[in-house]
Structure 1
Amino acid sequence: MKQSFPILLLLPWSLSSWAQTSLNTIEVQGVSEPPSAERQSHSQTELEREASGFTLGDYLEHLPLVNSASYGQGVGQPVIRGQSGYRVKILNNDQQTTDLSSMGADHAVAVMPKAAKRIELLKGPASLLYGAQSGGTIRVIDSFNDELLAQPGLAGKLYGSGSTNNQATQLGAAVSAANEKFSLELDGHRQSVGNYQDGKGQAIAHSDTWSQQVQAIAGYQQNDWLLKAFVSDLEMDYGIPNGSSKASRINLKQQRAGLKSIHNLHGDYLERMQFDLQYTDYLHNETEGGSADGLFGLESFAANIKLDAHYDTWLASFLMGYQQQNLQVCHEHGACQGFSIAPRTGNNVSASVKPIGSGYDQTPYFHGHPMPDTQTQSLSLGSHLEADMTQGIFSFGGYIELRQLTPDSKNIQENWLMPSTPTANINYADPDFYRQQTDTAISLSIGWQQPLSQYLTTEVSLSYIERLPSSEELLWNGNHHATQTYIIGNRDLNKERSVTLDWDLTYQTKRTRNTFNLFITEFSDFIYQTPLRDAQGNEIKDPDHNNTVWQTQQANAEFYGASLQQDWEIGRWQGSDWRLSHQADWLSGQLRSGENLPRIPPMRYQIALQQQTPHWFNQISLKQVFKARQLEDYETATPGYPWLSLYSRWQTHAFGMNTELWFKADNLLDQQAQNHLSYLKDTAPLIGRQLSAGIELRF
């Protein structure tokens, strides 16, 4: 594991000239953002205060109807309204994250949320500008997308923190310098986390993680034109505490570069045009006991044009995009130091293609690369329109995607290349299994926000979403060592369609804000995976690893749920402002046939009390996660647990710097707790009592 940390130094050629000049700003009108349930924006510092870990899921899981599917300390995938993976789009500076987190439960989201400035959750019409996911969209925003240029002069920050239990440390630095035309920003973040102990004091082996990100952003401004560029390097290394005696680890590397051009047009209708280019090179390897068993690579190029316009009371944004992705996968015991082309001998008969289990002779098992090299090209057009009507605000979103999938079987061993006639009673896949495929998806959403009285506002949206099956859902046929599963894709999957009715009711006075949300999502051809079982209900295992075989299927399904929030400004007492908040949410998910879906989040309730002065902020919160009662037929129950947390921050200004000291305690009751959404809930329970403290200096 790496232990180095880059020291970032910035030496402006004339610090006094940078500090004394003022920065001309570009006036950007664009689309207004009135308070709306469609858009929820949260600062990074606010989310970090509530987080018990360092992943994106950890940062978001305290929000209503948002959970984290953990896979140890290194993986926390956000789950929104019971949906995750391909049903939640994660954007990093308005480009889809080019990682493989949706492909596997053990794959981390290639985002370091500590480096973000704010994170937004979009649903309904607002989300369709960027894509079409039934769960919604998460926008992770840093300086490249958040501000046009850095603030004039020289500014920076340094921070560090440490934790008990898992011996976690965080270090980081950021610096920016700008004058009237140029800006330069550099930042670096590093975190190291050791193995942790659960609520029983038991050490969880192979649960350590390490991650580091460095980034540089440069900007140039001339009148109504702005040009920005960035380069970023991210590396993560984390263990998979799956109970195996051999250490399962994933090392992830991602290099990104991008260019953004913004023009203010000042036209009668067109206000702004933005052009983006981004390139990403992603690679992660999986080892078991030090053996290089798996290698995943994804190279991506994306180009977008965004237009902001207005007409009368209408505000509109249009986003036209092109993306090309090249995916490569390797699975060879100890031989995945690189990607390979399989040799061709002309002999199609091999003992390594064999049926799975007695009675399943028609299901061929293959021990080799699990899917072909695949190129995905897509064209998309997203739109979001909003109009301030007499009685309320009307919104509309639309998204069209044209996708071409081109598999290349050059890496597939020839014994799996589908001979024209069945061999040894095995029904091989279709001769055109690796055919090129072109598909189209169209999604629409309408919304309405209306005040019912001085204090009461209602907001409703209706969304129709089409999702194209991913290349992995279509083509995967192979083992996955880290998750200890064998997954069979389905080449004949249909488009997944969903209709969501979402309703919010807000009652707000000078001192209170109460929000109630209710949603229902009906799926047609819902894509899911389920263990393959024999006639007695026993799980079928693959013949070489004895791992459970999961098959990809489709069925009609439905999700529904509700949340309730209350924030109450109690008032001022003893020189402090006091605030009390409550939150509860509940979810359900099942097939239309009545069978429960697995890993549905259990009901939660949380109460928090805050006290604030000019220098102090203190919060104590108690979250009760109830017993998971909605279980799939073969799913085990998960007991409920209380989670008591404390946060305290002191800040002051001295010697030209803002200084902040903070202390945080998680799971103060040292409860033995399990995450019902985790595949590893038994081998990797949640962390026991942990105390953390840190310092941050800003100048």
Structure 2
Amino acid sequence: MKRFLASGRRAACLAVAFILVGSGAAEAQVSGEIRVRVVDVGGDPVEEADVRVVDLGRVLHVEGDEEARFERVPAGEYLIEVESPRAGRGIRAVRVTAGETVEVTVTVSLFFHGQELVVSVGGGTQADLYTPSHVERGIDLRASAQTSLGETLADQPGVNSSYHGPGSSRPIIRGLGGSRVRVLESGLGSGDASTTSPDHAPSVEAMAADRIEVIRGPATLLYGGSAVGGVVNIEDGRVPREIPAHPVIATLTLRGGTVADERNAAGRVDGAAGRIALHLSGLYRKTQDYAIPGLASIDELHPPGEEEEDEEGPEEALPGILPNSSVETARFAGGLSYVGDNGFIGVSFLGYDSDYGVPGGHGHGEEEGERHEDEDEEDEEEGHAGEEGDVRVDLRQRRADFMAGWRLGGDFLKGVEARFGLTDYQHFEILVDEVSGDRDIETRFFNNEWEGRLQVEHALAEGSRGAFGIHARNRDFEAIGEEAFVPPSSTLEFAAFLFEEFSVGRFGLQTGARFETRATEAEGVARRRNDRGFSASLGGVFEASEAVSFVVSAARSAKLPSAEELFSNGPHLATRVFELGDPELEPELGLSLDAAIRIGTESARTELSVFSNSFDGFTYQAFTGEEEDGLVVALWSQADAVFTGFEAHAEVELFHYGDGHFVMDAFGDYVRAELTANDQPLPRIPAFRFGAGLGHESPAWHGHVRARRTAGQERVAAFEEPTDGYTLIDASVGYRIFQGRVAHDIVLSGTNLTDREARSHTSFLKELAPFPGREIRLTYQLSF
């Protein structure tokens, strides 16, 4: 840990020095001024609103006819974001010229929410990006957030969940998951062990987030070839980047649900003293085993060669409940920043604890138990050889982050941003005795990690913008115990990246490149792996009219093999396989093609994207047909593969009255994945989905009802069973009460209202753990 802290101090000192030098250069620049007037869709001044210069982190509160005046703004291009609790949101882009004043009027509306900002890939609105994206935020996110990140995002186009029970689910994007989807917190990796196994939860909390961004397509290469599937970035504001518009801003969120007897409380306070901004937040959640329609089998799925089941059939769970699916989570965070007119420097600390069950039972098979019959009593008591029981995961993470950013305002150098994170992660897999309830640690996982990123924004010419930077990451991973299927390993990564964007009239061009190296070594393995890869992307946009635009992009990616893929050698009971790595794996090369059409008017917004991802040496787990320790052997292998599919989403305003809007939305997505040599389907690929809904939104009332159909998945890999289709119906209604600055939000929501049995084809536990049954949830949020 001392080495991590020393590295952190060195990186922080370098970043601070760079930023302070840049800030002096910024002061030498002649600045301009921005004046913002806020109106509603009828052209009338709004009652109150917060006006923010996004790139500077400066925010002002206005009421009625007041203008927001931002002085000493460095020359350059900026996004102005306005948010009114009663009238909605709006976004405008402005260009500031040295020595001049820019006057702009921003119209706010509840409809479309002014096109969401996406900060993960250069900062801009969704309509301006060269890649598909989705943003969740605000009370809608807090009311719909699930106990896992994967389930929180699983109903978005192109996004599914690995669903290993309610405590552990990771996003699957366009059929790709695991290490091919990077989960970030404010631009840095989450620092956990969730890519190692589907029963390992990401150490992030959706309900504590300000916003969650999902990025698909070639732009994800800014975060490395391992992000070829996609990027999920959680922004929680624990490092303050601005002085709040009021001395104290606070929220308190309380939530209860019926399906698992959920009790959830989260609180947050942001404030300032002069130039010092402060942040404090906390969360506690507790759920019981969740209710299901009918029965959930907990058959151990005996591999070929074992004795047949007896006449009574497989063991089944109690009707109406999924055993060992409870979750208990606690989170706390604090941050402190110095905020200037043109930037900030800040630090934060995060603690995250979670204790969750892995449904379906656990333990070694009968053969392994027989092998241990002759061991001494002490070993039997400690190892529980041959026993079955519930497995729980006790996860603990402590994390410290440093962040800084400054706008330089030069003709070439526009800004600099530095991020550095230190993570101390551990989790214990605990076997709970079926009779006594004793908890014995079977396996310990440790992950110590640091990661840093330095990015410099620049402009080569008028109408262009870009960034170059460096990225480094060090990971020390160790597993000890019954399921130590991966030897202790150390991984050091270094990368340099560049991206440029040019606009001429109706045409836009974006290009990027990234070169990265990875050194991987493992205990007991003589040879150290040194891999390198080059990734690049090129995209173009053509605005056919004010309403219609076409986007095309291509990327070449290089995913370097991970320690798990190289060196695994042992039983992995969470997935019920014996995993074998291959130290001779080569970097996985991919070619991604994306094309999209976007239509945006005052009353409608539509986007259709099609994609094709071809891989040379796609890395996946192939079943060998052999057995080890009573488990089927899965070997990390490589073969050429191709993923193709589409995503579609549309929102249409049916009609409006005054400040109220009635909206219809629809979506659909599909992915087909197979090995190119023999057209063999890859395992756990999502099925075709589509859905539609009706919604209403006004300053006081909002509501939504939606039906989603997931087709059955008949295209299955070897050793994989088909999955039945299902239809789910969800609904919500919310009411907002204003008392001066105080707002009360009350949301009543229901999921799976028809209490339909549904199982996810993407889950290793689909035969053991169906989705929850009908749930009614009540959320209350107090904010001021």
Classify the TM-score, shorter chain: 0.7 to 0.9
Alignment of 1:375 onto 2:468: no
- Of 148, 165, 170 in structure 2, the residue corresponding to residue 77 of structure 1 is 170
Look up the match of 2:310: none
Once structures 1 and 2 are overlaid, which stretch shifts more, 281-290 or 442-451? 281-290
Please show how residues 213-252 of structure 1 align to structure 2 within 5 Å.
Answer: 213-244=331-362, 245-252=388-395
CA distance in 1, matches of 2:159, 2:576: 27
> Would you say the 8 A contact 1:125–1:396 is kept in 2?
no
Amino acid at match of 1:550: A
Look up the match of 1:10: none
Partner SS state of residue 541, structure 1: strand
TM-superposed CA distance for 1:276, in Å, is 2.1
Partner SS state of residue 179, structure 2: helix
Look up the match of 1:351: none
Alignment of 1:521 onto 2:637: no
> Would you say the 8 A contact 2:239–2:279 is kept in 1?
no
Please show how residues 622-633 of structure 1 align to structure 2 within 5 Å.
Answer: 622-633=707-718
TM-superposed CA distance for 1:73, in Å, is 0.6
- Of 245, 256, 271 in structure 1, the residue corresponding to residue 414 of structure 2 is 271
Please show how residues 403-422 of structure 1 align to structure 2 within 5 Å.
Answer: 403-409=518-524
Alignment of 1:292 onto 2:441: yes
Look up the match of 2:320: 202
CA distance in 2, matches of 1:33, 1:143: 18
CA distance in 2, matches of 1:317, 1:144: 25
CA distance in 2, matches of 1:687, 1:472: 31
- Of 609, 620, 628 in structure 2, the residue corresponding to residue 542 of structure 1 is 628
Shift of the 23–478 alpha-carbon distance from structure 1 to 2, 3 Å rule, reads farther
Look up the match of 1:426: none
CA distance in 1, matches of 2:270, 2:239: 15
Look up the match of 1:604: 689
Look up the match of 2:565: 473
Shift of the 464–394 alpha-carbon distance from structure 1 to 2, 3 Å rule, reads same
> Would you say the 8 A contact 1:148–1:226 is kept in 2?
yes
Alignment of 1:668 onto 2:753: yes
Alignment of 1:558 onto 2:701: no
CA distance in 2, matches of 1:665, 1:394: 44
CA distance in 2, matches of 1:330, 1:581: 49
> Would you say the 8 A contact 1:125–1:397 is kept in 2?
no
Amino acid at match of 2:589: R
Alignment of 1:686 onto 2:771: yes
TM-superposed CA distance for 1:288, in Å, is 1.9
Look up the match of 1:577: 661
Look up the match of 1:359: none
Once structures 1 and 2 are overlaid, which stretch shifts more, 22-31 or 114-123? 22-31
C-alpha offsets along residues 157-213 of structure 1, whole Å, 9 cap, x if unaligned?
111111112101110111111144011110001111110111225211101111111
Look up the match of 2:365: none
> Would you say the 8 A contact 2:468–2:498 is kept in 1?
yes
CA distance in 1, matches of 2:402, 2:279: 15
Amino acid at match of 2:655: G
> Would you say the 8 A contact 1:129–1:317 is kept in 2?
no
- Of 457, 466, 474 in structure 2, the residue corresponding to residue 324 of structure 1 is 474
> Would you say the 8 A contact 1:127–1:397 is kept in 2?
no
CA distance in 2, matches of 1:26, 1:239: 54
CA distance in 1, matches of 2:261, 2:506: 56
Once structures 1 and 2 are overlaid, which stretch shifts more, 151-160 or 554-563? 151-160
Please show how residues 179-194 of structure 1 align to structure 2 within 5 Å.
Answer: 179-194=273-288
Look up the match of 2:133: 40
CA distance in 1, matches of 2:430, 2:69: 50
- Of 215, 230, 244 in structure 2, the residue corresponding to residue 122 of structure 1 is 215
TM-superposed CA distance for 1:620, in Å, is 0.5
- Of 572, 581, 597 in structure 2, the residue corresponding to residue 489 of structure 1 is 581
Shift of the 454–219 alpha-carbon distance from structure 1 to 2, 3 Å rule, reads closer
- Of 175, 182, 186 in structure 2, the residue corresponding to residue 93 of structure 1 is 186
> Would you say the 8 A contact 1:463–1:500 is kept in 2?
yes
TM-superposed CA distance for 1:150, in Å, is 3.6
TM-superposed CA distance for 1:668, in Å, is 0.4
CA distance in 2, matches of 1:585, 1:277: 36
Please show how residues 361-440 of structure 1 align to structure 2 within 5 Å.
Answer: 369-409=484-524, 433-440=525-532
CA distance in 2, matches of 1:131, 1:23: 40
CA distance in 2, matches of 1:454, 1:302: 42
Partner SS state of residue 240, structure 1: strand
Question: How many residues in Structure 1 have an aligned counterpart in Structure 2?
Answer: 615
Shift of the 125–686 alpha-carbon distance from structure 1 to 2, 3 Å rule, reads closer
Gaps of 5+ in 2: 1-59, 62-67, 79-121, 295-318, 363-387, 433-438
- Of 250, 255, 258 in structure 1, the residue corresponding to residue 401 of structure 2 is 258
> Would you say the 8 A contact 2:569–2:581 is kept in 1?
yes
> Would you say the 8 A contact 1:23–1:181 is kept in 2?
no
Amino acid at match of 1:398: A
Please show how residues 145-156 of structure 1 align to structure 2 within 5 Å.
Answer: 147-156=241-250
Amino acid at match of 2:700: H
- Of 232, 235, 239 in structure 2, the residue corresponding to residue 141 of structure 1 is 235
C-alpha offsets along residues 420-474 of structure 1, whole Å, 9 cap, x if unaligned?
xxxxxxxxxxxxx431121111100000011123432110110110000100100
Partner SS state of residue 101, structure 1: coil
> Would you say the 8 A contact 1:622–1:644 is kept in 2?
yes
Partner SS state of residue 586, structure 2: coil
Partner SS state of residue 247, structure 1: strand
Shift of the 262–572 alpha-carbon distance from structure 1 to 2, 3 Å rule, reads closer
TM-superposed CA distance for 1:145, in Å, is 6.0
CA distance in 2, matches of 1:96, 1:237: 22
> Would you say the 8 A contact 2:133–2:214 is kept in 1?
yes
TM-superposed CA distance for 1:542, in Å, is 1.9
Amino acid at match of 1:620: V
TM-superposed CA distance for 1:26, in Å, is 8.5
- Of 141, 149, 152 in structure 2, the residue corresponding to residue 56 of structure 1 is 149
C-alpha offsets along residues 558-582 of structure 1, whole Å, 9 cap, x if unaligned?
1000122221100125984200011
Gaps of 5+ in 1: 1-18, 333-367, 410-432, 534-539
Look up the match of 2:197: 104
Amino acid at match of 2:515: I
Shift of the 698–485 alpha-carbon distance from structure 1 to 2, 3 Å rule, reads same
Shift of the 317–295 alpha-carbon distance from structure 1 to 2, 3 Å rule, reads same
Shift of the 510–516 alpha-carbon distance from structure 1 to 2, 3 Å rule, reads same
CA distance in 2, matches of 1:614, 1:276: 38
CA distance in 1, matches of 2:734, 2:73: 36
Once structures 1 and 2 are overlaid, which stretch shifts more, 190-199 or 661-670? 190-199
> Would you say the 8 A contact 2:749–2:778 is kept in 1?
yes
C-alpha offsets along residues 321-362 of structure 1, whole Å, 9 cap, x if unaligned?
222111111124xxxxxxxxxxxxxxxxxxxxxxxxxxxxxx
Shift of the 104–47 alpha-carbon distance from structure 1 to 2, 3 Å rule, reads farther
CA distance in 2, matches of 1:225, 1:573: 42
> Would you say the 8 A contact 1:131–1:382 is kept in 2?
no
CA distance in 1, matches of 2:217, 2:359: 37
Partner SS state of residue 629, structure 1: coil
Look up the match of 2:269: 175
Amino acid at match of 1:163: G
> Would you say the 8 A contact 1:286–1:482 is kept in 2?
no
> Would you say the 8 A contact 2:146–2:206 is kept in 1?
no
Look up the match of 1:305: 454
Look up the match of 1:4: none
CA distance in 2, matches of 1:561, 1:301: 36
